[in-house]
Chain A
Amino acid sequence: MSQTGNAGLNINKLCKSFQDGESSRTVLADLSLCLAQGDTLAIIGPSGSGKSTLLNCIGTLDHPDSGEILLNSKNISAFSRAEAEQYRARKIGFVFQEHHLLPSCTAIENVLLPSILIKADVDFRARAEELLARVGLGGRGSAFPSQLSGGEKQRVAIARALFNKPELLLCDEPTGSLDSQNGDAVAEILLELSAKEKVMVVVVTHNRAFAERFGRVESLNAGRLEQVSGAVS
């Protein structure tokens, strides 16, 4: 893995465009961003502005056309597929708008999913139970997704995202399918975990009120970020 720059997340001149028929549509244009350990960032913007694309690039689910993404000095945009998988398994936590729980597994088993990728003879169950408790689902570990409400499912997804003690938590519209009450609860959990675990949190949302609860808010427009509130660490 190549190493450049400082600790935290540094994005330099990131470009990404999509082919739309015979024309090309630029989604990210020379986008730069810095995020320090424990920072929380909410990215807002209209539909199609490239919020999710940015998140996917940071999460190595998509490749930028140019530019670099450095996490703790490692250029993750140049990762091979295997490196990206390792990176996702160890450094990143994902929370999606759709909770994407395995319907066949119980809540605690969903949280435990990343443990499969960790080669250690450790009983991870305690951590999974602790995480479930932290998201307010203590005692609901044996419930199947079909037995959980939307908010509860999302909390399980957050617990799963935190299981591998990620350095970076990426949330793509985490409250998109939740009512405001559940949305608030999710925000609380994310901020609390960020504070306690010193995890960088990047949230993509349409919901301005929800966004403003995070340390910094940036708006994605014409492929570039514009600071709305908060300060760069």
Chain B
Amino acid sequence: MKIFRIVFRNLLYYRRNNATLALATAVCVGIICGALLIGSSVRASLKDLALKRLGPVDKVLSTGITLDPAIASKMSDNNRGTYISLVMLNGSARKPNSGLSSNKINLIGLPDLGAEEYGGYFEACVNLAGRNAVINQVLADDIGANPGDEIIMKIPSIMVAPAESLFGRRRVGENITSLRLKVASIIPMDKAGRFSLDSGSAPPRNIYVAMDWISESLGKRKANTIFDTGRDGKADEAFRRCAVLSDFGCRFVDRSASGYISLESENFVFSGMQSGVIEKAMRELVVNNIRTSVYLANSLSLSKDGSTRSVPYSTIAGLDITPSIGPSLPVEDNVIVLNKWTADQLGAETGDSISLAYYETMQDGTVHEKTKTFILSGVVGMSGTGVDAGIVPDYPGLTDAESIDAWKPPFEMDLAKIRKIDEEYWDKYRAAPKAFISFPAAAAMWGGDGGRSLSGVTSFRIPVAKGSDVAVLIKSLDHELGKRYAASEAAPVFRNVRADALRGSTGSTDFGELFLYMSFFLIVSALILVAMIFRLSIEKRSQEIGLLMALGFSPRRINVIFMIEAILAALAGSIGGILLGPVYADYVLAGLRSSWSGAVAGFPLFLHLRTQDLVVGGASGFLAALFAVWLSTRGIFSLIVKDLLAGWKPGFSQVSDHKLSLYKKAAILLLVIPLILVGCGVAGVIPPVAAFISAGSMLLIFVMILFICIVSRKRVGEYGLSVATLVAKFISRSRGRSFAVFSLMAAASFIIVAVAANVRGTASYMDYSRSSGSGGFRLLVETSIPFYADLSTRHGWIELGLEEKEIASEIPKDAIFVPLKRSGGEEASCLNLNHPQSPSVVGVGDEFARSNRFTFTNAADWTAIEKDNLAVADASSAQWILKKGIGDFQAVYGRGDVKDELKLQGLISGSIFQGDLVTSTSTFNNIFGADTGYSAVLVECDAADSKRVRDLLGKHLSDYGVQIRDTSELLAGFAEVQNTYLSAFALLGGMGMALGTLGVAGILLRNMVDRKREFAVLCAIGFGRSLIVRMVLIENMALVISGILSGAACSLLAMIPQITSEGAAMDWGSVLLYLSFSAAIAFISCWIAARISISSNLIRDLRAE
């Protein structure tokens, strides 16, 4: 005879108990496995999604439309097919005459490669002819498009000059290109249909066209993106090897006839960084050059002899002359040289004071005329530099105009000032500068009121000797300068989008952990059930334990026998739980795809089985069950053998006076502290939410201790004989059981009420005060295509296309408009399940910072972002999504995907900026470029004006793919995630409560069976069966209902701030339903148990007694 034989026999004999134990363990293991599987499934689904949306693309290089499309094939020389040059732009699309439109469209122009070059991923989108386009299903659904239909797409135009400059085309309509496309086919949301570089939850809207066609339509046969599909890690190296200066928005113009080559920016003027890198490279290569800056003078005037002569709208140039080269031009900032034509027009002589009026561009986009006075130091003849139109880079709409009258400048011009003679000059000399000033003086005109990133250099003039092979020289310079430029900080770099996506797909929220927390009560209920079942089983078998002890079995050995039994039962349960886990996880994931989709912002999540989760879940649930079993057996093996042999049952034992006194002191303390906390909360000494939650929780513990005190009171001679006293004695006799029932019900109802109290309705987000989450803004206006009109200024509205009288009549007087620059990073809010690697950044101006909006959770204010590279984030997003705190650095990808960092300096609570980091405009400009347009506007206005503002902006920004939302809608969207979690938590808590109630029902049932003989005695004495049932019901329902009411009352106290706050949307009906349901289960179980107990042959039981 071996121990295992006894164990085996016991397992079979007590199969019902063991099966119940196994079942409870299975529930526990199933929930843990399920929760872990949910976490893994979310991560795996995100990873799948990330890999699907990227297809073969590993790394991406993005820049302006400056890349020679052939660069990819050059880079692929030794690794064919690895790199692909293409055009990728964002825009909006609509179907003509349908009223249907869609925003945030990816326009992808693919080169005409064989389908195999794309690894089969983009095969449905290649070989497109002309304006034929392939669109994906979601976009087709949005705009109701079918094959053969025409669609209009709006995309940003290629800027011919920086938007921040005088020559930048900022007016609405000037920086938009309209494309008319024909839908060739519609592809499903798979492969190319799913392709996106954005990790957001919204399915991408893609339009594929031929790269040649789109680049031609944009007026440049260039690309702006390179895909690396090779994953060899050498993309940057290959790019640096193959890139030439022309790939960085520069061009060489052969002016050898004038004795030089001109290196110009495709953007009319070089940025400070570009210019610095090129100058350095030329110094290294010892390339002689003259920096040139051209600008437009509104007038050149000379007041002499009581009369003033003027020449309108003249180009002026500043040449950075070195003594060894060039003509004798000004080197001092206050002197000017005129060409002869101009000097004649003005009647100017050396030493005269020439006034130069020009437009200065302010940071807000407005222009102001400014006048500077120069001393005429000389006159150049009408030859050579004096008539060199090549000094002025091409500017479409100006330099290519037939006449001055035909100029299409982006600024105001008084054409009436143009004289016939000016037109004649234009006809003869085109844009040749009429005046020359020093280079610093000319470059300074580009600077406006400061804060610009522009260098003012419009070209580098590289002298060439007569007879030189200019083409060879240009090629050599292009290559050598390009190599150096590519290695500089100004060059774009490849971003490892796959690595970022995979890192991001680990998720910002660990759903496994989350569901473990949310299922905590369910797990605890299952474990309590395990403990109770085992305890009851042991109590039932106390004589067996006594016998084994009498036979000489040590308590340890007996414990081993029982534990082996428990281990085997729990093992069976664990196996069952491991099978149950995936079912539970699949059920929850189905919920997350449907009714709980708000919690995952619509991400499609599917079950991914991972052995590790099943093993870990199974093992942890198994160990937890064994721990519960171990806890339940504590003390029983140290009982006296004779007691056990006599059929020991846990009965009433007096609590010592000392212990009781301790309980009472603890209870008093726990009653006093909550009162103090509530007082402090009301007085505002500590935050009310924290005060009330602490008070409510302590009150719950107080109630539990009070219960112990009440049921532990000595009852000698205390009661007369009545049903009530009998019931009270029954409750006191099984103190442990009574406490278990009471505390379980109290804890469960506390959680149920607390969860329900935290649900927020939309009304809570209708707060438009400046300290609220809306920051005082009523509307958020977002566009797919950036615009440049600063709507916080009158000038901005004019650029938007409004007339002066419209500004007065259509814009509400008290409305405040705050345009925002926003980078194209990832959403940093709870609406993005991925862990953002480079969150979206918003740049706000000083005016915004001074307006003291939102509420900071730390001791900071908007001055926190005044210094460079500092940022403010929403507190919840920082903590939960970005996993950052104050002082932490967050990586962001700036222009050209160059990595930069922002330091978190302030946190604001529950704000509309949950998706972004907020920084100053200057930091934003440094990282993302000053010419980034506005892609959002926040509007503070009265409710009555809301519609007017919506209509106004909707009309004027419609081409930019505008979307206007009430900020309350935005906040409610964020809150839906929390509300959905709460709803899931409530359901899982409810399930836990139901399971706990079932456990309670089990205890009651067992209790009834144990008390059969007691009932028999009562019956013999003359108690009617219905009276006994009634007594049993009163006894148990008193425990259940007092537990529920106590828990709910404590929870209500704890949640007073939430319940009474504006927008509270506590679903009292659901709470009552959950609590009533639990009480009903307890009642039914109790009634059934009592009926079963007294329906048996009580006389036989009495005889046994």
A88 CA to B548 CA in the complex, in Å?
Answer: 10
B547 near A112: Cβ-Cβ < 8 Å = no
Instruction: Provide the residues of chain B in CB contact with A81, threshold 8 Å.
Output: 554
Tell me the nearest residue of chain B to A160, going by C-beta: B551
- Contacts A61-B641, A104-B13, A109-B1; is A117 near B550 (CB within 8 Å)? no
**Min CB gap A148→B, angstroms:** 15
Q: For chain B, give the interface size range.
A: 20 to 34
- Contacts A61-B641, A100-B546; is A85 near B1 (CB within 8 Å)? no
A104 near B9: Cβ-Cβ < 8 Å = yes
- Contacts A61-B550, A88-B550; is A115 near B1 (CB within 8 Å)? yes
Within 8 A of A (CB), among B1-60: 1-3, 5-6, 9-10, 12-14
Instruction: Please tell me if A94 contacts chain B, counting CB pairs below 8 Å.
Output: yes
**Min CB gap B689→A, angstroms:** 53
Instruction: Please tell me if A105 contacts chain B, counting CB pairs below 8 Å.
Output: yes
- 22 A-B pairs with CB atoms under 8 Å apart are A52-B642, A56-B642, A59-B550, A61-B549, A61-B550, A62-B640, A87-B552, A88-B551, A94-B550, A98-B645, A100-B546, A102-B9, A104-B12, A105-B6, A109-B6, A113-B548, A114-B551, A115-B1, A116-B2, A116-B3, A117-B551, A117-B557
B553 near A117: Cβ-Cβ < 8 Å = yes
> Which of A96, A98, A102, A116 counts the most chain B CB atoms within 10 A?
A116
Instruction: Provide the residues of chain B in CB contact with A105, threshold 8 Å.
Output: 5-6, 9
Instruction: Provide the residues of chain B in CB contact with A230, threshold 8 Å.
Output: none
Tell me the nearest residue of chain B to A89, going by C-beta: B552
Instruction: Please tell me if A82 contacts chain B, counting CB pairs below 8 Å.
Output: yes
Instruction: Please tell me if B544 contacts chain A, counting CB pairs below 8 Å.
Output: yes
A86 near B552: Cβ-Cβ < 8 Å = yes
Instruction: Provide the residues of chain A in CB contact with B547, threshold 8 Å.
Output: 96, 100, 102
Instruction: Provide the residues of chain B in CB contact with A94, threshold 8 Å.
Output: 550-551
Q: Tell me whether chain B's interface is mostly helix, strand or loop, or mixed.
A: helix
B550 near A116: Cβ-Cβ < 8 Å = no
A100 near B543: Cβ-Cβ < 8 Å = yes
Instruction: Please tell me if A124 contacts chain B, counting CB pairs below 8 Å.
Output: yes
- Contacts A105-B6, A109-B1, A112-B1; is A85 near B554 (CB within 8 Å)? yes
A82 CA to B548 CA in the complex, in Å?
Answer: 14
Within 8 A of B (CB), among A9-68: 52, 56, 59, 61-62
Instruction: Provide the residues of chain A in CB contact with B543, threshold 8 Å.
Output: 98, 100
A52 CA to B12 CA in the complex, in Å?
Answer: 34
Instruction: Please tell me if A103 contacts chain B, counting CB pairs below 8 Å.
Output: yes
- Contacts A96-B645, A117-B551; is A103 near B5 (CB within 8 Å)? no
Partner of B553, one of A85, A87, A103, A106: A85
> Which of A59, A90, A98 counts the most chain B CB atoms within 10 A?
A98
Binding site for A on B (CB under 8 A): 1-3, 5-6, 9-10, 12-14, 543-544, 546-554, 557, 640-642, 645
Partner of B1, one of A89, A100, A124: A124
A121 CA to B622 CA in the complex, in Å?
Answer: 34
Give the number of residues in A that approach B within 8 Å (Cβ atoms): 32
A87 CA to B6 CA in the complex, in Å?
Answer: 22
Instruction: Provide the residues of chain A in CB contact with B14, threshold 8 Å.
Output: 104
Knowing that A100-B550, A100-B645 touch, tell me 10 more A-B residue pairs with CB under 8 angstroms: A62-B642, A85-B553, A88-B552, A94-B551, A96-B550, A100-B544, A104-B13, A113-B548, A114-B551, A117-B557
A113 CA to B2 CA in the complex, in Å?
Answer: 8
Interface contacts (Cβ under 8 Å), in number, total 79
A94 CA to B551 CA in the complex, in Å?
Answer: 7
Instruction: Provide the residues of chain B in CB contact with A61, threshold 8 Å.
Output: 549-550, 640-642
**Min CB gap A196→B, angstroms:** 22
- Contacts A61-B641, A62-B642; is A103 near B551 (CB within 8 Å)? no
Instruction: Provide the residues of chain A in CB contact with B2, threshold 8 Å.
Output: 116
A89 CA to B548 CA in the complex, in Å?
Answer: 10
A92 CA to B645 CA in the complex, in Å?
Answer: 17
> Which of A52, A109, A113 counts the most chain B CB atoms within 10 A?
A113
**Min CB gap A80→B, angstroms:** 11
**Min CB gap A77→B, angstroms:** 15
Partner of B552, one of A90, A100, A102, A124: A90
Tell me the nearest residue of chain A to B12, going by C-beta: A104
A224 CA to B547 CA in the complex, in Å?
Answer: 28
A109 near B5: Cβ-Cβ < 8 Å = yes
**Min CB gap A199→B, angstroms:** 16
Tell me the nearest residue of chain B to A163, going by C-beta: B551
- Contacts A61-B640, A89-B552; is A104 near B6 (CB within 8 Å)? yes
**Min CB gap B860→A, angstroms:** 66
> Which of B14, B547, B550, B642 counts the most chain A CB atoms within 10 A?
B550
**Min CB gap A120→B, angstroms:** 12
Instruction: Provide the residues of chain A in CB contact with B1, threshold 8 Å.
Output: 109, 112-113, 115-116, 124
A93 CA to B499 CA in the complex, in Å?
Answer: 75
**Min CB gap B513→A, angstroms:** 42
Instruction: Provide the residues of chain B in CB contact with A106, threshold 8 Å.
Output: 9
A104 CA to B14 CA in the complex, in Å?
Answer: 8
Instruction: Provide the residues of chain B in CB contact with A109, threshold 8 Å.
Output: 1, 5-6, 9
Tell me the nearest residue of chain A to B638, going by C-beta: A81
Tell me the nearest residue of chain B to A104, going by C-beta: B13
A117 near B6: Cβ-Cβ < 8 Å = no
A106 CA to B2 CA in the complex, in Å?
Answer: 14
A102 near B6: Cβ-Cβ < 8 Å = yes
Instruction: Provide the residues of chain B in CB contact with A102, threshold 8 Å.
Output: 6, 9-10, 544, 547
Tell me the nearest residue of chain B to A53, going by C-beta: B642
Instruction: Provide the residues of chain A in CB contact with B642, threshold 8 Å.
Output: 52, 56, 61-62
Instruction: Provide the residues of chain B in CB contact with A112, threshold 8 Å.
Output: 1
A40 CA to B8 CA in the complex, in Å?
Answer: 38
A54 CA to B544 CA in the complex, in Å?
Answer: 22
Within 8 A of B (CB), among A130-182: 160
A113 CA to B543 CA in the complex, in Å?
Answer: 15
Partner of B554, one of A59, A82, A103, A104: A82
Instruction: Provide the residues of chain B in CB contact with A62, threshold 8 Å.
Output: 640, 642
A166 CA to B12 CA in the complex, in Å?
Answer: 31
> Which of B1, B12, B640 counts the most chain A CB atoms within 10 A?
B1
Tell me the nearest residue of chain A to B9, going by C-beta: A104
**Min CB gap B271→A, angstroms:** 88
Instruction: Provide the residues of chain B in CB contact with A89, threshold 8 Å.
Output: 551-553
**Min CB gap A115→B, angstroms:** 5
List the 8 closest A-B pairs by CB distance, nearest first: A89-B552, A104-B13, A112-B1, A88-B552, A104-B9, A100-B547, A61-B641, A115-B1
A160 CA to B1 CA in the complex, in Å?
Answer: 13
Tell me the nearest residue of chain A to B7, going by C-beta: A104
A39 CA to B645 CA in the complex, in Å?
Answer: 27
Tell me the nearest residue of chain B to A105, going by C-beta: B9
**Min CB gap A156→B, angstroms:** 12
A86 CA to B640 CA in the complex, in Å?
Answer: 17
A80 CA to B552 CA in the complex, in Å?
Answer: 13
Tell me the nearest residue of chain A to B14, going by C-beta: A104
Tell me the nearest residue of chain B to A82, going by C-beta: B554
